[in-house]
């Protein structure tokens, strides 16, 4: 499997997707330094949008990793505890362009420690702080395309973040009759230990409303509000010369919102990918357009079986990580999210160049 894939757009602009696992070493600092050096060597002279490290023990590894990132000049990286399952103690996902794009502003917003307690209050603060960071005349509803929400002790704290998000979305005019935001809500520990919720958000500015397409595959996946949550299954951004697809956390679910194949990780893997494929097919894309993915497993012992399945069905031009993480419903044994891209644009809109 490749640890970096690229997609050429036009006029020398390309997208680059990185998924890199560290090489196991008993010394975390050495392991982290090797990975960061390898990543910096591969990404030299490119323009980053997203940089996220996944570590196995954030309490003991956070400060060491921050030191190494400063040494190599890596800025605005997220650090989450979700144990990588390919042997090393840390892994990296990153999304870059070969240079800063023109015609649109693409920006990742990092969350910050809120100083409040409780997952509901922290989630509310995350969104309210995000709203304050946006440019004048921008809004969460119109300009935030994708969020990643990491929740410590998901089984006990997920309900709080869901409640806060639903209430704020209603306040901002986002309902099942309008739209929500593509998202992953997943188990993940942040630093320090009392930080129960962390959110990273992708904003794109300069889009006309018609360039944003909210993705559905109603014969495969129910709308999320059926089971009480408020996010889109995915969002397509249509540029003049290409499309980007942001696939939300997707599991083995049917059109009625029910878990399919309880207890059978192989069958759930198949249905999970079928759901992603259905979402893409409904919006002028194919599974082979998927360029980057993260697979979250409840049980690390399922890693070899799941990876064998992924290798059969994911294109060689898709790079991915496999991480251990609890999922919002215990019956889901695994979940995937990802980014796809193809050259299916609409000439009525400005090109991404």
CATH number at residue 21: 3.30.1330.40
Query: pLDDT, tens digit, for every residue of 290-309?
Result: 999 999 999 999 999 999 99
Average pLDDT over residues 176-187: 97
Whole-number Å distance between alpha carbons of 264 and 287: 23
- Residue ranges making up the domain that contains 88: 4-342
270 inside domain: yes
Does residue 14 fall inside a structural domain? yes
**Total of domains in the chain:** 1
Task: For residue 252, tell me if it sits in a domain.
Answer: yes
Mean pLDDT, range 148-154, rounded to an integer: 97
Whole-number pLDDT of residue 100: 97
113 vs 262, more confident: 262
pLDDT of residue 99: 97
Q: Is 297 inside a domain boundary?
A: yes
Q: pLDDT category, 106, cuts 50, 70, 90?
A: very high
Give the pLDDT mean for 237-245.
Answer: 98
Which of the four pLDDT bands, split at 50, 70 and 90, describes residue 155? very high
% of the chain with per-residue pLDDT over 90 = 97
pLDDT tens profile 11-32: 789 999 999 999 999 899 999 9
- Residue percentage of the chain with pLDDT more than 70: 100
How sure is the predictor about 112, in pLDDT bands with cuts at 50, 70 and 90? confident
Is residue 247 a contact partner of residue 181, using CB atoms and an 8 Å limit? no
Question: Residue 294 and residue 323: Cα distance in Å, rounded?
Answer: 7
- Residue 48 falls inside a structural domain: yes
What's the average model confidence in pLDDT over 99-114? 91
Q: Is residue 169 part of a domain?
A: yes
Is there a domain that residue 351 lies in?
no
Exposure string over 226-238, b if 16+ CB within 10 A, otherwise e: eeebbbbbbbbbb
Residue 115 pLDDT grade (very low, low, confident, very high; cuts 50, 70, 90): confident
* pTM listed for this prediction: 0.98
pLDDT at 200: 97
Residue 150, pLDDT > 80, answer yes
Residue 350 in domain:
no
Query: What average pLDDT does the chain have?
Result: 96
Q: CB within 8 A of 124, min separation 6: which ones?
A: 164, 167, 168
Instruction: Please check whether residue 333 is in contact with residue 301, taking contact to mean a CB–CB distance below 8 angstroms.
Output: no
Q: Are 269 and 307 in contact (CB under 8 A)?
A: no
Q: What is the pLDDT of residues 49-105, one digit of tens each?
A: 999 999 999 999 999 999 999 999 999 999 999 999 999 999 999 999 999 999 999
């Amino acid at each position: 499997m490749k640890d970096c894939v690229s997609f050429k757009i036009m006029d020398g602009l390309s997208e680059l997707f990185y998924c890199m696992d560290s090489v196991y070493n008993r010394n975390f600092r050495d392991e982290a330094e090797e990975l960061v050096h390898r990543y910096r060597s591969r990404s030299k002279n490119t323009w980053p949008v997203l940089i996220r490290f996944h570590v196995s023990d954030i309490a003991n590894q956070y400060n060491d990793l921050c030191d190494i990132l400063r040494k190599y000049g890596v800025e605005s990286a997220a650090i989450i505890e979700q144990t990588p399952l390919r042997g090393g103690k840390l892994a990296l996902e990153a999304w870059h362009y070969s240079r800063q794009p023109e015609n649109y502003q693409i920006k990742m917003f990092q969350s910050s420690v809120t100083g409040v307690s409780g997952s509901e209050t922290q989630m509310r603060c995350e969104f309210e702080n995000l709203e304050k960071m946006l440019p004048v005349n921008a809004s969460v509803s119109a300009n935030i395309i994708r969020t990643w929400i990491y929740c410590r002790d998901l089984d006990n704290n997920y309900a709080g973040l869901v409640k806060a998000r639903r209430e704020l979305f209603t306040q901002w005019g986002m309902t099942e009759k309008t739209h929500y935001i593509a998202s992953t809500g997943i188990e993940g520990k942040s630093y320090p230990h009392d930080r129960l919720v962390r959110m990273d958000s992708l904003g794109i500015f300069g889009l006309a409303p018609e360039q944003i397409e909210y993705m559905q595959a109603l014969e495969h996946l129910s709308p999320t509000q059926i089971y009480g949550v408020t996010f889109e299954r995915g969002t397509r951004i249509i540029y003049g010369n290409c499309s980007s697809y942001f696939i939300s956390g997707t599991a083995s679910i049917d059109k009625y919102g029910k878990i399919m194949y309880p207890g059978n990780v192989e069958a759930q893997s198949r249905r999970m990918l079928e759901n992603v494929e259905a979402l893409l097919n409904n919006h002028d894309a194919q599974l082979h357009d998927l360029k980057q993915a993260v697979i979250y497993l409840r049980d690390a012992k399922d890693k070899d079986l799941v990876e064998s399945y992924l290798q059969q069905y994911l294109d060689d031009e898709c790079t991915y990580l496999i991480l251990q993480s609890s999922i919002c419903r215990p019956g889901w044994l695994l979940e995937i999210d990802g980014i796809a891209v193809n050259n299916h644009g609409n000439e009525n809109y400005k090109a991404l160049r």
